[in-house]
């Protein structure tokens, strides 16, 4: 059986922060390959480096040294504008706090990444409604975030993450603000998205969520301590 295509690869990345006269090493020589269709749980205690790694994978930050290859592009040392373009085209984000725009109805929140990509508004909004339908949210397409429950807002966020057909979806503590039942529903939605072939990296400290992943990567003190 042929090996799966590598979607993202970090190559010996290190991240240093200057704190006064002291230098803090947030990541230390981290190499990780993520394959098409993976569902990876990136786990570790606070301060382990998992959030720093997620920010670099998500083109929100750059490594001090090493390289990152996302869907064939070397991205570690691109300009801010180039990183922003790649974020919009190749990465879907799902956040603990949903990060929906409060003044926009659900379908416009979903369509916004497509508008930023230059897709005509009529097409992007039609696709926004289509994605909401796949999340079971078509009846709520015209409701603003304040009119939705936490679970409904997170489903809108999942639909938004899929808007530009990204190479990878980063989910940062997506159940952190949800009750157990709603959190399970959201994780089931993410698993169903993964089954369609989407690559997902779940960043979490909740060990109960690793059952959804096909790979678990544990971090400690800025390094990968274990892979399962």
Angular region, 29: left φ>0, alpha ψ -120 to 50, beta rest: left
Q: CB-based contacts of 126: which residues, under 8 Å, 6+ apart?
A: none
Tell me the CA distances in angstroms from 205 to 38, 125, 136, 202, 212, one per residue in order: 19, 35, 28, 10, 14
Summarised one tens digit per residue, pLDDT across range 3-48 is 689 999 999 999 999 888 889 999 999 999 999 999 999 999 888 9
Which residues of the chain fall short of a pLDDT of 50? 1-2
- Count CB neighbours of 45 within 10 A: 12
**What pLDDT is recorded for position 3?**
60
- Quote the radius of gyration of the chain (alpha carbons, Å): 18
Can you give the chain as a three-state secondary structure string? CCCCCEEEEEEEEEEEEEECCEEEEEEEEEEEEEECCCEEEEECCCCCCHHHHHHHHCCCCCCCEEEEEECCEECCCCCHHHHHHHHHHHEEEEECCCCCCCCCCHHHHHHHHHHHCCCCHHHHHHHHHHHHHHCCCHHHCCCCHHHCCHHHHHHHHHHHHCCCCCCEEEEECCCCCCCHHHHHHHHHHHHHHHHCCCCEEEEECCHHHHHHCCEEEEEECCEEEEEC
**What pLDDT is recorded for position 1?**
40
| Ordered structural domains, the chain, with CATH | 38-55+88-227 (3.40.50.300)
The distance of Cα 88 from the centroid of its chain, to the nearest Å, equals 12
Which residues are bridge partners to 18 per DSSP?
23
Summarised one tens digit per residue, pLDDT across range 55-74 is 999 999 999 999 999 999 99
Residue 11 near residue 66, CB atoms below 8 Å: yes
**What pLDDT is recorded for position 168?**
96
């Amino acid at each position: 059986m042929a090996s799966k295509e590598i979607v993202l690869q970090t190559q010996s990345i290190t991240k240093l922060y200057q704190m006064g006269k002291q230098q803090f090493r947030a990541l230390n020589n981290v190499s990780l390959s993520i394959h098409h269709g993976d569902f990876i749980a990136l786990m570790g205690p606070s301060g382990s480096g998992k959030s720093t790694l997620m920010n670099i994978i998500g083109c929100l930050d750059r490594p001090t040294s090493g390289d990152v290859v996302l869907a064939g592009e070397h991205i570690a040392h691109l300009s801010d504008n180039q990183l922003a373009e790649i974020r919009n085209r190749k990465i879907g984000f799902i956040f603990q706090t949903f990060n929906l725009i409060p003044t926009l109805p659900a379908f416009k929140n979903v369509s916004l990444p497509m508008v930023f990509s230059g897709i005509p508004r009529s097409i992007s909004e039609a696709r926004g409604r289509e994605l909401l339908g796949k999340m079971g949210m078509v009846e709520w397409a015209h409701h603003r975030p304040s009119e939705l429950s936490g679970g409904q807002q997170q489903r809108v966020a999942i639909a938004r993450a899929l808007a530009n057909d990204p190479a990878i979806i980063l989910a940062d503590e997506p159940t952190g603000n949800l009750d157990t039942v709603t959190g399970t529903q959201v994780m089931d939605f993410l698993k169903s998205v993964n089954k369609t072939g989407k690559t997902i990296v779940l960043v979490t400290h909740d060990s109960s969520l690793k059952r959804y992943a096909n790979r678990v990567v544990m971090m400690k003190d800025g390094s990968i301590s274990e892979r399962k």
